[in-house]
A and B are shown apart, each in its own frame.
Chain A
Amino acid sequence: GAGVSQSPRYKVAKRGQDVALRCDPISGHVSLFWYQQALGQGPEFLTYFQNEAQLDKSGLPSDRFFAERPEGSVSTLKIQRTQQEDSAVYLCASSLALAGSNEQFFGPGTRLTVL
């Protein structure tokens, strides 16, 4: 079956531009996560949705980062006025259950390069 998909796979932005990154989770998955992965590092948590509710946004690095999931399915991560330090791979993951020890399924990521 279809896994988590993300688009675009690659994005180049000039410093100061706004970008929008899309995540299509696995159908029926309640939970959706965004992570940021800098070069040579492990992924770092950004934000978490349960259906359409954003329950945790403690990892968003600044108010330039905004995420939404209005209908509890597709999610968009928006970065305003991009800076060079925003260059990273942005990973989306989804999982089925609300709580417990369920695995997260990751998409391939969007590689953002800010020039």
Chain B
Amino acid sequence: AQKITQTQPGMFVQEKEAVTLDCTYDTSDPSYGLFWYKQPSSGEMIFLIYQGSYDQQNATEGRYSLNFQKARKSANLVISASQLGDSAMYFCAMRGSNNAGNMLTFGGGTRLMVKP
């Protein structure tokens, strides 16, 4: 079984500052992928960034980067230079190589609010 934990129900950040959203995971799969999604108030789920368990470098996509610490089983999302449009729910998720269907398992989410 795999599990994703996001311990921050809500976060505030000042516009133009950086923010880190925490994510820890648990899995027995030897290979797995970690994903972050953004969900604005309109409801759609937007894929942001991916990190593979064997990737040597932390993933980056524009203002998003993933602080991957495999030994600690953490995959924190860092958003640099926050913008008002970053206000949304953020979900950490993972897929393992051995679970049936390799389904995507989600954490409970963190609501980020960017202050002007």
Q: Report whether chain A binds chain B.
A: no
Interfacial residues, chain A to chain B (CB-CB below 8 A): none
